[in-house]
Amino acid sequence: MSLFDHKLKDIQELLHKKEVSVRELVDESYRRIEEVDDQIKAFLTLNKEEALKQADEFDRDGAQSGNGALFGMPVGLKDNIVTKGLRTTCASKILDNFNDPLYDATVVQKLKEAKAITIGKLNMDEFAMGSSNENSGYMATRNPWNTDYVPGGSSGGSAAAVASREVFFALGSDTGGSIRQPAAFCGVVGMKPTYGLVSRFGLVAFASSLDQIGPITRTVEDNARLLEVIAGHDHMDSTSANVEVPAYSEHLEKDMKGLKIAVPKEYLGEGVSEEVREAVRKALKVYESLGAEWEEVSLPHSKYAVATYYLIASSEASANLARFDGVRYGVRSEKAENMIDMFKLSRSEGFGDEVKRRIMLGTFALSSGYYDAYYKKAQKVRTLIKQDFENVFEDYDVIIGPTTPTPAFKVGEKIDDPLTMYANDILTIPVNLAGVPGISVPCGFSSEGLPIGLQIIGRHFDEQTVYQTAYAFEQATDFHKQQPQLGGAGK
Amino acid sequence: MSEISKEQVKHVAHLARLAITEEEAEMFTKQLSAIIDYAEQLNELDTDHVKPTTHVLDLKNVLRKDEPKQWITQEEALKNAPDKKDGQFRVPSILE
């Protein structure tokens, strides 16, 4: 059994009683990375020297220093979260030499204040564009449950590292499902908070009206604890919401009796595999047995979400990624003789195909003569999708459905067809467009032994109800206790 | 219905400051046409009287006092630069 199989609260207890040292926790991370990461390929950069130094410091004066909420806990960070002095690439060759960032993202500052220890930076689809980690400029992370399969994306490195016990927990980012989908594929818990709950300062921007940082953990309780630390208003992000952050983890137990669950018929329809539907039906039975009520509802504009998302996200990306020009940081092409060619060649050599495709789609959708037909149209349909959610939340407490239409797919299976790959996000994208919170928790396994995720969606800033609903399911089932048989780690 | 031509793709690439090969131009023409074609389904919806959503939380302008603060030094600003000279970023010639 790994030290990381314990809950955060229990590890804090062990640390307090000096039965475990911070050094042992950090050593465990690097030992496990050494053992399995050549198969999993989750880490792009390690922070070993600094992490070990910190661990020893914490052990030396930990008892006196007013322990932080995450004292000594080994955390992994998706590589689009900026870390001062620690290489940050977004898994893109254009940032290959970005070895010395000047500041920490707000979430990293908050982790430091809570005394968590950064183990390293985790692989992702380049600039968070993708659903399989195959779009990384460096390597394709593998699914710990079966390394022939993708871990999901774009936070695939984060989910795989947590599932394979390389870190205690991790942060990811979610623009169209990039926390929830890999969490579902890797059998862990992933939360995309309400847009604006967590500061985006220092998150390298992909689509600014959709991006949100969130926690990936093994249990609901630890997920809530991590979100408590990273959430909150930040004057460095003017879109961050000025709201009180509740102590989610202190109020997880709630009687499900009377909870009103909406199940959108569109989320169990065509394109969703029978295995996934069956797992969700069984989950609804669990809720019934706990006293909750569920009814079928409709989110009628769901089928337009993928098209809406790709127009809006790509348009925003085309503007955000204009900053990568080879002038102030990042890789510059050696071949150019004038300024314009330098921009063009640096970007063409530095960006992968998917990133170029989305920059071009966005540039087209924003270009003169097409703006109204595509970008503005998509923003109007976004309003309709958002209203679908508002209508349902007038009568129901949460929405429940699958996180993904199928379990993880094989490496290479969808990489050549962008539209097939995009369809994989059909159940997560509407949540980002509406800005509401959504979590994925393990709810079963396919016949091939791959995890299936249950998605629970709540009202704006009602993470508390989402966590309570997820916690009740987790306590009533033991899917979260299963673990991949990787590298000889027994059950 | 909405075919994007190869010429349009090349023009968009120029606007986006991307250098693409003839081969890439063909690939992107096919793929972008398929994606735009897929996006045409939004036209099934009548949105004449729908307001566009630019931001889910409906934020108004967020203002703060404009006070200068020490952020980074010139030296720090330059330390990740691919090329620099005399405390400035250096780039290839802009004028012929």
**Burial class of residue B89 (count of CB atoms within 10 Å of its CB; 0-12, 13-18, 19+):** middle
pLDDT, average across residues A37-58: 97
Angle between helices A220-230 and A463-476 (to 10 degrees): 160
Q: What is the per-residue pLDDT for B57?
A: 85
Cα A443 from Cα A436, distance rounded (Å): 21
Measured between CA atoms, how close is B94 to chain A, in angstroms? 5
Query: Is the omega angle on the peptide bond into residue A154 within 30 degrees of 0, that is, cis?
Result: yes
Reported as type and span, the H/E element at residue A160 is helix A156-163
Check whether B1 has a pLDDT greater than 50: no
Q: Note whether residue A209 is domain-resident.
A: yes
How many CB pairs below 8 Å do chains A and B form together? 165
Cα A179 from Cα A110, distance rounded (Å): 20
Q: What is the per-residue pLDDT for B3?
A: 76
Q: Note whether residue A298 is domain-resident.
A: no
Q: Note whether residue A396 is domain-resident.
A: no
CATH number of the domain where residue A156 is located? 3.90.1300.10
Cα A451 from Cα A185, distance rounded (Å): 6
Q: What is the per-residue pLDDT for A106?
A: 98
Q: Work out the percent of chain A whose per-residue pLDDT is above 90.
A: 92
CB A133 within 8 A of CB A124: yes
**Domain housing A118:** 3-258
What ipTM, to 2 d.p.? Answer: 0.95
CATH number of the domain where residue B19 is located? 1.10.20.60
Q: Note whether residue B13 is domain-resident.
A: yes
* A422 confidence band (pLDDT: 50, 70, 90): confident
CB contact under 8 A, A418 and B35: yes
Cα A428 from Cα A305, distance rounded (Å): 9
Looking at every residue in chain B, the average pLDDT score rounds to: 92
**Residue numbers in B near A419 (CB within 8 A):** 34-35, 38
Q: Note whether residue B18 is domain-resident.
A: yes
CB A264 within 8 A of CB B93: no
**Domain housing B15:** 6-44
* A415 confidence band (pLDDT: 50, 70, 90): confident
Is the CB of B32 inside 8 Å of chain A's CB atoms? yes
Cα A306 from Cα A319, distance rounded (Å): 20
pLDDT, average across residues A170-179: 98
Walk across the sheet containing A117-122 and list its strands: A43-46, A117-122, A74-78, A169-173, A213-217, A189-192, A438-445, A451-457, A398-402, A260-264, A293-297
Number of domains in chain B: 1
Check whether A491 has a pLDDT greater than 60: no
Q: Work out the percent of chain B whose per-residue pLDDT is above 90.
A: 75
Q: Note whether residue B31 is domain-resident.
A: yes
pTM of the prediction?
0.97
Q: How far apart are the first and last CA of chain B?
A: 43
Q: What is the per-residue pLDDT for A464?
A: 98
Q: Note whether residue A188 is domain-resident.
A: yes
pLDDT, average across residues A219-241: 96
DSSP β-ladder status, A169-173 and A213-217: antiparallel
**Residue numbers in A near B20 (CB within 8 A):** 348, 356
Q: Note whether residue B14 is domain-resident.
A: yes
Q: Note whether residue A278 is domain-resident.
A: no
CB contact under 8 A, A195 and B57: yes
Q: Note whether residue A93 is domain-resident.
A: yes
CB A131 within 8 A of CB A154: yes
Check whether A490 has a pLDDT greater than 50: no
Q: Note whether residue B1 is domain-resident.
A: no
CB contact under 8 A, B19 and A344: yes
Measured between CA atoms, how close is B87 to chain A, in angstroms? 12
Looking at every residue in chain A, the average pLDDT score rounds to: 95
For A444-474, write each residue's pLDDT tens digit.
Answer: 999 999 999 999 999 999 999 999 999 999 9
Q: What is the per-residue pLDDT for A66?
A: 65
Is the CB of B93 inside 8 Å of chain A's CB atoms? yes
**Burial class of residue B88 (count of CB atoms within 10 Å of its CB; 0-12, 13-18, 19+):** exposed
| Minimum-distance CB partner of B81 among A329, A342, A361 | A329
Q: What is the per-residue pLDDT for A488?
A: 46
For A118-155, write each residue's pLDDT tens digit.
Answer: 999 999 999 999 999 999 999 999 999 999 999 999 99
For A271-297, write each residue's pLDDT tens digit.
Answer: 899 999 999 999 999 999 999 999 999
Number of domains in chain A: 1
| Minimum-distance CB partner of A364 among B32, B53, B62 | B32
Q: What is the per-residue pLDDT for A175?
A: 98
Catalytic residue ranges of A: 78, 154, 178
For A291-326, write each residue's pLDDT tens digit.
Answer: 999 999 999 999 999 999 999 999 999 999 999 999
Q: Note whether residue B37 is domain-resident.
A: yes
CB contact under 8 A, A325 and B47: no
pLDDT, average across residues A439-447: 98
**Residue numbers in B near A329 (CB within 8 A):** 80-82
Measured between CA atoms, how close is B10 to chain A, in angstroms? 10
CB contact under 8 A, A351 and B39: no
Q: Note whether residue A27 is domain-resident.
A: yes
DSSP β-ladder status, A260-264 and A293-297: parallel
Q: What is the per-residue pLDDT for A368?
A: 86
* A485 confidence band (pLDDT: 50, 70, 90): confident
Concatenated DSSP letters for A257-308? TT-EEEEEGGGGSTTS-HHHHHHHHHHHHHHHHTT-EEEEE--TTGGGHHHH
For A376-390, write each residue's pLDDT tens digit.
Answer: 999 999 999 999 999
Closest CA to A124 of A31, A39, A191, A41: A41
Cβ-proximal residues to A274 (8 Å cutoff; 6+ apart), any chain = none
Q: Work out the percent of chain A whose per-residue pLDDT is above 70.
A: 98
Long-range contacts of A249-252 (CB under 8 A, 24+ apart): A249/A221, A249/A224, A249/A225, A249/A467, A251/A464, A251/A468, A252/A220, A252/A221, A252/A224, A252/A467, A252/A468, A252/A471
Concatenated DSSP letters for A166-182? SSSEEEEE-SSSTTHHH
Check whether A248 has a pLDDT greater than 70: yes
Q: Note whether residue A416 is domain-resident.
A: no
Cα A253 from Cα A58, distance rounded (Å): 32
Query: 3-state DSSP: chain B helix, strand, coil percent, rounded to 5?
Result: 40, 5, 55
* A199 confidence band (pLDDT: 50, 70, 90): very high
Which of A171-185, A209-223, A345-359, B54-68 is predicted with the least confidence, judged by mean pLDDT?
Answer: B54-68
Angle between helices A353-366 and A305-320 (to 10 degrees): 100
Concatenated DSSP letters for B1-46? --PPPHHHHHHHHHHTT----HHHHHHHHHHHHHHHHHHGGGGGS-
Q: What is the per-residue pLDDT for A65?
A: 56
